[in-house]
Amino acid sequence: QVQLVESGGGLVHAGGSLRLSCIASGRTFSGWSMGWFRRAPGKERDFVASIIWSGGNTYYAGSVKGRFTISRDNAKNTVSLQMNSLKPEDTAVYYCAASPMATQRPPQWDYWGQGTQVTVSS
């Protein structure tokens, strides 16, 4: 049973930084993709970033490219999202996701975490 548990959300002023972490358990993730998504109030869930667990290739949404960095720690089974230069429009619930497809942006994400709130004040 794959489990994903996010942490690291909180309240930060515009221009600040936060680091989200996702601990993955239940299997080995070699050959999988891990991703971060977010859902702002009243909006649909949007893709933020993804990483291929084995090779470390990364992919970002245009709105966060250059500000956010996704990474993984194989030894700790953890995927992180470093968020810098945060803007009020980054306010959302952030979700970790996993897919057994090792592509930059899988068509289907099979496992989801419970989400962590990020609030950026102006």
Residue 65, pLDDT > 90, answer: yes
Alpha-carbon distance of 22 to 116, in angstroms, equals 10
> pLDDT tier at 107 (50, 70, 90 boundaries)?
confident
- pLDDT exceeding 90 applies to what percent of the chain? 82
Look at residue 105 in the predicted model and tell me its pLDDT: 83
Most confident of 8-22, 67-81, 101-115: 8-22
> pLDDT tier at 113 (50, 70, 90 boundaries)?
very high
- Distance set, CA 46 to CA 1, 36, 43 (Å): 25, 9, 9
pLDDT tens digits, one per residue of 2-41 = 999 999 999 999 999 999 999 999 988 888 999 999 999 9
Can you tell me which residue has the tokens 């975490």?
A: 113
